[in-house]
Structure 1
């Protein structure tokens, strides 16, 4: 039964200041603070991989246990996705973001205190839960405020993530080298998260975070969308996102271990190569700009194909550090910069404007749920058949399956996005 008016469906508080009345300085300042908090989020996620060999050595963890710890934080992100999406459609996005940063910062601070595999796993999951909450809230806020250039704006957030991915591994190894302890990076990042929370509390205007998606339901491209946020297109995109999570995070979680244990790289060399993944993700705004202008199915298909080809060079050849940095750069371009950004945008466009929060939660859950076990899967494949075969199955062939899934998406579900995202005359 339909409601007479759509407004009551959302009980989330309105912005204190209308979005169109916000001074440019307020928008820029608030956006930079939010993006910096997401940069810390990325550093927090990616600092663990380069430190994993030292952590394994101290605790005596097996490769499978190390692989699990490297990616299990994504289980927390997955668990956070759907409930956070529900909350975002009803409550303040700013509040959700601030609480989420506190949660993952406390989990990060607790990680060096772990006494073994079990409690370190719990701390990693807690960190991931907070990171997932922040990711969903940030993407919903950005997607709504910049709805006319949604994918480009999400690409800019991807740049912050890429920069954090670039800085995190290098900074973590440098801090470990300077003080001879892998624990310091976690203390620094956890503390930084609490500080940025305090700054955002006073410096980010609610008008920036609470804006409603402005796509009118009467515009072609919106009125024909299904009533449910869990429709054919959004579910197909969620499945594709899940596959990309397994492939991309399987690579991210154990790439430094692969370089160190199989190719005999030093920890510094492995961190350098890993940082180029983040460097590639800095091109996310370009892929977002492209996704705002062409069929996003084609963008996703090309990115999957490029990811598959790149992984062949990484795992089936033994090349120099320079080549590994180049291939890692391409993994960042296509895995984080293109697939992540365009999945996120497309799944928002596959639902009605008042369902953006739930679609974002669906994306976060889908992407990170399977990614949580990608490290364990990769490590198990390595133990059974070696690095080359593991890379072939999980990072080369799996993206080809995702191409078939993306091909099932009906472009009509969000084909008229140019009209839908354009202000009404």
Structure 2
């Protein structure tokens, strides 16, 4: 019991550090209009700057998965924390488009290192509850997605656009001290035991087998939908609908409220056919995401409600079960590489989501551009999940955690 409580306590500290990761990721989109004016950027440029950090995340995903087989997970998580916190701090001192892109890209490298390490830690120690362990990360992402936009907008109102980046960049120091002093290697470096016959159905799978690749493709389209929304939705609210920074922050933070349903999504995915859950959730994401960009929708409460519904579907259900699904489709000795495959599949395409939506806006009006990308990509992901035959190993024999 003491060991179990200690493990929960250490995982809670790691999840707290991931809240800071989520805050850093969500901060830029709310400040994008101010950064655009200060640095004289075009809409496609600020759209690219909003999501280019995901290119860093994606490119670092697979290498980090292999790095974890040679370096301790704790050290990789710490290194990632230092890198993305420093890059967030330096974003405040960007002088133009090139160095802004560089800082945003580097922040993604660090965020991917931390995310991949934490996924490997959680799904290895709590192996028999992998979907819940993976979804707990997205749950804490939801907390950061609520805090980041609202607190960032409040700091902006009291100061200038650089100050939120400075303060949130420095906040990583607290998480660094807690992890170094409190998180022990027996927890972070734990390996799952191969004790169940259910593993027999997936031990032949390799990283590039059909099922993990199809799930990775579905993840890529989901990333284009998620980060099209996260990258330029606040800009759409401010520039097309005339919302204030505080109103836009409130609307987009409701997406984070929806992400808090990740634990429910993980629980459902551990117990039922997660393919059906994924398909239904992706169809719901296409519906709610499209409605967010319709001209019928000009009220703040309606935007907040639809953002919550979109976040609940695509972040609370889809994200949780895609990440766990890829890990479930591979044997446990490939858990770190599976985590890296998920991170790469989600974030490499997502790097261009904001730029793509910005380009679509230059060719069409906001509504058609938003529906085409947000809804269309979610529908493509749903079609891919329908082509997957069989089912990766679901929950194994239940453990008491």
The TM-score by the shorter chain falls in which range? over 0.9
Q: Which residue of 1 aligns with 2:209?
A: 231
Q: Which residue of 1 aligns with 2:394?
A: 417
* CA positional deviation for 1:224: 4.4
The 3-state SS of whatever aligns with 2:316 is helix
Q: Which residue of 2 aligns with 1:319?
A: 298
2:250 maps to 1:272: yes
Distance 1:187 1:298 in 2: 43
Distance 1:237 1:40 in 2: 28
CA displacement, residues 121-180 of structure 1 (integer Å, 9 cap, x when unaligned): 00000000000110110011101111111112222221111000011000001011112x
- 1:47-196 equivalences under 5 Å are 47-179=27-159, 181-196=160-175
Q: TM-score, normalised by structure 1?
A: 0.91
Q: Which residue of 2 aligns with 1:16?
A: none
Q: Which residue of 1 aligns with 2:283?
A: 305
The 3-state SS of whatever aligns with 2:348 is helix
Q: Which residue of 2 aligns with 1:378?
A: 357
Distance 2:49 2:5 in 1: 41
Q: Which residue of 1 aligns with 2:271?
A: 293
Q: Which residue of 2 aligns with 1:402?
A: 381
Distance 1:256 1:78 in 2: 23
The 3-state SS of whatever aligns with 1:406 is helix
Change (3 A) 1:398 1:192: same
Distance 2:394 2:376 in 1: 31
The 3-state SS of whatever aligns with 1:213 is coil
Distance 2:250 2:336 in 1: 36
The 3-state SS of whatever aligns with 2:241 is coil
Distance 1:104 1:144 in 2: 24
Change (3 A) 1:238 1:224: closer
CA RMSD for the aligned pairs?
1.4
Report if aligned partners of 1:89, 1:354 keep a CA contact under 8 Å in 2. Answer: no
Q: TM-score, normalised by structure 2?
A: 0.96
* CA positional deviation for 1:318: 2.4
Report if aligned partners of 2:85, 2:168 keep a CA contact under 8 Å in 1. Answer: yes
Distance 2:91 2:192 in 1: 38
Structure 1 runs of 4+ aligned residues shifted over 3 Å read 221-225, 420-423
Structure 1, unmatched stretches of 5+, are 1-20
Structure 2, unmatched stretches of 5+, are none
* CA positional deviation for 1:410: 2.2
Greater mean deviation of Cα atoms: 124-133 or 155-164: 155-164
Q: Which residue of 2 aligns with 1:197?
A: 176
Report if aligned partners of 2:202, 2:331 keep a CA contact under 8 Å in 1. Answer: no
Report if aligned partners of 2:147, 2:253 keep a CA contact under 8 Å in 1. Answer: yes
Distance 2:194 2:312 in 1: 29
The 3-state SS of whatever aligns with 1:411 is coil
Q: Which residue of 1 aligns with 2:25?
A: 45
Distance 1:338 1:133 in 2: 23
Distance 1:57 1:213 in 2: 51
Q: Which residue of 2 aligns with 1:392?
A: 371
Change (3 A) 1:62 1:83: same
Distance 1:248 1:403 in 2: 14
Distance 1:421 1:62 in 2: 54
* CA positional deviation for 1:221: 3.8
Change (3 A) 1:284 1:45: same
Distance 1:398 1:353 in 2: 30
Q: Which residue of 2 aligns with 1:255?
A: 233
Within the candidate set 314, 318, 327, 1:348 is matched to 327
What is the aligned length? 398
Distance 2:22 2:168 in 1: 10
CA displacement, residues 191-239 of structure 1 (integer Å, 9 cap, x when unaligned): 11123112211111112211112343x6134354324222110010000
- 1:202-217 equivalences under 5 Å are 202-216=181-195
Change (3 A) 1:230 1:22: farther
The 3-state SS of whatever aligns with 1:351 is coil
